C-alpha cells in the first residue's frame, strides 16, 4: 500500500503522436463494396494498394497477367469523418483479403493529402473476442460457482492494477523493477485473498509467492546484466525507447519476467499449500516432517508439468522467429546467442528456477504452519487411551473416535478370516 501510494502515477504522460506502429490514430470502418479490377490498369493509373501490403519483387508480372486485383470501398464509422468513404486496392498476393460487409480498423494521418489520410491496418475483431471472453467467464462461473465469480473479479482487479499503476508508473520514469515488484505484490495479495479467503492457508501461499518473486528478481537482475540484454530488440520496444528515452529497457525486461512468472507462481504455491492442509486433515497425527515429505512428492510432479508448460509457452510465442533461424540453417549456439532468443531463454530459466524453489519453500512453510499448534503422534495416542490429553477437546475427541472405530474394524477382519 505504501509503494502504491508513493509511486502512483496519476495517468500516463502525454506525447505527440508519431504515426508509426501502434502510435497512430485509428477509427472503426466497414468495407461497403469490393469489385474486381485489372491489376495492369491499376498499376498504370498509379493507384496504391492497402497500407499493410508488401509485394515481393518479381510478382508484378504475374499480377498483371492474372488481372484479379480488387478495389475496396471503405466507410469510416467513427470519429469526425464518420460516413466518409475511401478506396484501396487489394493485391492478389496479400495475406489479408477484404470482403464486403467486413469490419476493419483504419489508421488516420491528418497531415497526409486528403485522399491518403485513411488506410486499412487490421480487421476489427472486437465481436469474436468479446464472445470468447463471455464463453470463458460463463465456463469459470459454471464450474467454479462463487469462487469462479471471485476469480473473475480478481482478474478484473489485476488488469486495473496493470493499466492504472504499472504501465503509467513505468512511463512516468519510475524504476521498472520496483514498480513490477509492488504491482505484482498488490495483484497477488488481492487475487489470492479474494479467491481463497483470509486464512492461514492463503497467507502461507502469499509468503511462498513473495519469497519466490524476490528470488526471481535477484536472479533476473544478475543474469540480464551479465548477459548484456538491452530489452530493445524489436520495433515496439524501439518505438517505446524513442518516445520515452528515460525508460530503462533492461529494467522493463526484468519487470516482464516478474509479472509473467506471477500467475504460474500463484498456481504452484496455492496447490502446494492446499495439498499439505488436506494431508493433515486426512492424517492429523502426521508431524511436520511427514507432511513435508508427502507434500514434496506431490510438488515434484507439479514441477515437471509446470516447467514444461513455461518452456512450451515461450517456444510457441517465438515460433516464427525459430522458423527464421531454421530457414537460415543457423546452429543452436548462434540461435541461443542472439538477443531475441537469449531474452526468452533467460526469461524461461529464471522463471523456472523461481517456480522450482517455490515448491520446497511453500511446502515447508505450510507443514510448519499447519502442525505448529497440533500435538505429536505420541500425545495423540496418549489422549486416545486416557480420553484426555494435552491437545484441544476436538483433538482428543478425534483420537477417541479413531480408537472406537478400530475395534469394529478388527472384529470385521477376524470374521472374514474365520469365514
pLDDT at 5: 86
Q: Could you tell me if residue 394 is inside a domain?
A: no
Model confidence at 20: pLDDT above 50: yes
Based on the domain organization, do 170 and 280 belong to the same domain? yes
Quick one: angle between helices 288-317 and 249-282, nearest 10?
A: 140
Based on the domain organization, do 107 and 155 belong to the same domain? no
Q: State the average pLDDT over residues 339-350.
A: 82
Q: Please, are residues 396 and 404 in contact by the beta-carbon 8 Å criterion?
A: no
Q: Could you tell me if residue 320 is inside a domain?
A: yes
Model confidence at 138: pLDDT above 90: yes
Q: How far is CA 127 from the centre of its chain?
A: 22
Based on the domain organization, do 176 and 282 belong to the same domain? yes
pLDDT at 140: 92
Q: What percent of the chain has pLDDT over 90?
A: 9
pLDDT at 230: 81
Ranges 36-50, 138-152, 215-229, 340-354: which has the least confidence: 36-50
Task: Report how far residue 17's alpha carbon sits from residue 26's, in angstroms, rounded to the nearest whole number.
Answer: 12
Q: Please, are residues 345 and 361 in contact by the beta-carbon 8 Å criterion?
A: no
Based on the domain organization, do 85 and 202 belong to the same domain? no
pLDDT at 300: 86
pLDDT at 141: 93
Q: What percent of the chain has pLDDT over 70?
A: 78
Based on the domain organization, do 153 and 236 belong to the same domain? yes
Name the residue with higher pLDDT: 416 or 292: 292
**Which of 51-65, 95-109, 129-143, 336-350 has the highest average model confidence (pLDDT)?**
129-143
Dihedral of the alpha carbons of 107, 111, 113, 116, in degrees to the nearest 10: -10
SS (H, E, C) the chain: CHHHHHHCCCCCCCCCCCCECCECEEEEEEEEEEEEECHHHHHHHCCCECCCCCCCCCCHHHHHHHCCEEEEEEEECCCCCCCCEEEEEECCCCCCCCCCCCEEEEEECCCCCHHHCEEEEEECCHHHHHHHHHHHHHHHHHHHHHHHHHHHHHHHHHHHHHHHHHHHHHHCCCCHHHHHHHHHHHHHHHHHHHHHCCCHHHHHHHHHHHHHHHHHHHHHHHHHHHCCCCCCCCHHHHHHHHHCCCCCHHHHHHHHHHHHHHHHHHHHHHHHHHHHHHHHHHCCCCCHHHHHHHHHHHHHHHHHHHHHHHHHHHHHHCHHHHHHHHHCCCCHHHHHHCHHHHHHHHHHHHHHHHHHHHHHHHHHHHHHHHHCCCCCHHHHHHHHHHCCCCCCHHHHHHHHHHHHHHHHHHHHHHHHHHC
Based on the domain organization, do 163 and 83 belong to the same domain? no
Q: Could you tell me if residue 289 is inside a domain?
A: yes
- Cα dihedral 191, 196, 201, 205 sign: negative
Side by side, which strands form the sheet with 85-90? 85-90, 69-76, 25-37, 103-108, 118-123
Q: Could you tell me if residue 51 is inside a domain?
A: no
Q: What is the pLDDT of residues 363-407, one digit of tens each?
A: 999 999 988 755 444 344 444 444 444 444 444 444 444 444 444
pLDDT at 411: 44
Task: Report how far residue 303's alpha carbon sits from residue 355's, in angstroms, rounded to the nearest whole number.
Answer: 7
Q: Could you tell me if residue 257 is inside a domain?
A: yes
Q: What is the pLDDT of residues 282-338, one digit of tens each?
A: 888 888 888 999 899 888 887 877 777 777 777 777 777 777 777 767 677 777 777
- Beta bridge partners of residue 87, listed in sequence order: 73
Residue labelled with grid coordinates 510478382: 59
pLDDT at 419: 42
Q: State the average pLDDT over residues 217-241.
A: 81
pLDDT at 130: 93
Based on the domain organization, do 101 and 236 belong to the same domain? no
Per-residue pLDDT band at 54 (split at 50, 70, 90): very low
Ranges 214-228, 350-364, 391-405: which has the least confidence: 391-405
Name the residue with higher pLDDT: 251 or 152: 152
Based on the domain organization, do 227 and 307 belong to the same domain? yes
Task: Look at the chain and report how many structural domains it folds into.
Answer: 2
Based on the domain organization, do 305 and 274 belong to the same domain? yes
Quick one: angle between helices 249-282 and 200-226, nearest 10?
A: 150
pLDDT at 373: 53
Q: Could you tell me if residue 402 is inside a domain?
A: no
pLDDT at 17: 62
pLDDT at 363: 92
SS (H, E, C) 146-197: HHHHHHHHHHHHHHHHHHHHHHHHHHCCCCHHHHHHHHHHHHHHHHHHHHHC
pTM over 0.85: no
Q: How far is CA 99 from the centre of its chain?
A: 34
Based on the domain organization, do 282 and 158 belong to the same domain? yes
- Beta bridge partners of residue 118, listed in sequence order: 108
Based on the domain organization, do 211 and 177 belong to the same domain? yes
Q: Which of 371, 398, 413 delimits the end of a domain?
A: 371
Per-residue pLDDT band at 1 (split at 50, 70, 90): confident
Name the residue range of residue 32's domain.
28-44+70-124
Pairing state between β 103-108 and 118-123: antiparallel
Q: State the average pLDDT over residues 134-157.
A: 91
Q: Could you tell me if residue 332 is inside a domain?
A: yes
pLDDT at 11: 67
Q: Could you tell me if residue 244 is inside a domain?
A: yes
Average model confidence (pLDDT) across the chain: 77
pLDDT at 253: 84
Amino acid at each position: 500500500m505504501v509503494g502504491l501510494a508513493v509511486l502512483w502515477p496519476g495517468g500516463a504522460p502525454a506525447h505527440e503522436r508519431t504515426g508509426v506502429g501502434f502510435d497512430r490514430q485509428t477509427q472503426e470502418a466497414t468495407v461497403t463494396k469490393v469489385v474486381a479490377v485489372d491489376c495492369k490498369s491499376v498499376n498504370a493509373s498509379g493507384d496504391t494498394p492497402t497500407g499493410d501490403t508488401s509485394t515481393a519483387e518479381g510478382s508484378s508480372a504475374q499480377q498483371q497477367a492474372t488481372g484479379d486485383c480488387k478495389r475496396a470501398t471503405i466507410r469510416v464509422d467513427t470519429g469526425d469523418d464518420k460516413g466518409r468513404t475511401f478506396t484501396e486496392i487489394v493485391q492478389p498476393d496479400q495475406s489479408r483479403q477484404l470482403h464486403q460487409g467486413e469490419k476493419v480498423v483504419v489508421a488516420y494521418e491528418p497531415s497526409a493529402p486528403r485522399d491518403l489520410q485513411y488506410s486499412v491496418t487490421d480487421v476489427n475483431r472486437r465481436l469474436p473476442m468479446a464472445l470468447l471472453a463471455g464463453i470463458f467467464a460463463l465456463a469459470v462461473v459454471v464450474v467454479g460457482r462463487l469462487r469462479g465469480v471471485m476469480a473473475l473479479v480478481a482478474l478484473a482487479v489485476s488488469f486495473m492494477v496493470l493499466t492504472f499503476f504499472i504501465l503509467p508508473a513505468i512511463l512516468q520514469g519510475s524504476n521498472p523493477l520496483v514498480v513490477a515488484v509492488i504491482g505484482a505484490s498488490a495483484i497477488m495479495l488481492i487475487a489470492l485473498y479474494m479467491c481463497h479467503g483470509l486464512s492461514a492457508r492463503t497467507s502461507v501461499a502469499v509468503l511462498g509467492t513473495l519469497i519466490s518473486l524476490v528470488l526471481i528478481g535477484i536472479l533476473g537482475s544478475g543474469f540480464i546484466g551479465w548477459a548484456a540484454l538491452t530489452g530493445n530488440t524489436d520495433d515496439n520496444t524501439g518505438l517505446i525507447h524513442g518516445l520515452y528515452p528515460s525508460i530503462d529497457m533492461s529494467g522493463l525486461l526484468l519487470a516482464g519476467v516478474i509479472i509473467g512468472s506471477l500467475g504460474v507462481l500463484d498456481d504452484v504455491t496455492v496447490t502446494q499449500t492446499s495439498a499439505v492442509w488436506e494431508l493433515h486433515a486426512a492424517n492429523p497425527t502426521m508431524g511436520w516432517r511427514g507432511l513435508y515429505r508427502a507434500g514434496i512428492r506431490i510438488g515434484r510432479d507439479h514441477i515437471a508439468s509446470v516447467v514444461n508448460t513455461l518452456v512450451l509457452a515461450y517456444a510457441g510465442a517465438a515460433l516464427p522467429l525459430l522458423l527464421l533461424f531454421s530457414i537460415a540453417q543457423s546452429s543452436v549456439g548462434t540461435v541461443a546467442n542472439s538477443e531475441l532468443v537469449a531474452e526468452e531463454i533467460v526469461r524461461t530459466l529464471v522463471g523456472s528456477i523461481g517456480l522450482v524453489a517455490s515448491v520446497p519453500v511453500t511446502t515447508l512453510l505450510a507443514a510448519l504452519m499447519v502442525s505448529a499448534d497440533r500435538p505429536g503422534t505420541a500425545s495423540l495416542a496418549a489422549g486416545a487411551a486416557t480420553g484426555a490429553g494435552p491437545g484441544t477437546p476436538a483433538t482428543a475427541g478425534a483420537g477417541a473416535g479413531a480408537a472406537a472405530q478400530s475395534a469394529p474394524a478388527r472384529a470385521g477382519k477376524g470374521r472374514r478370516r474365520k469365514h
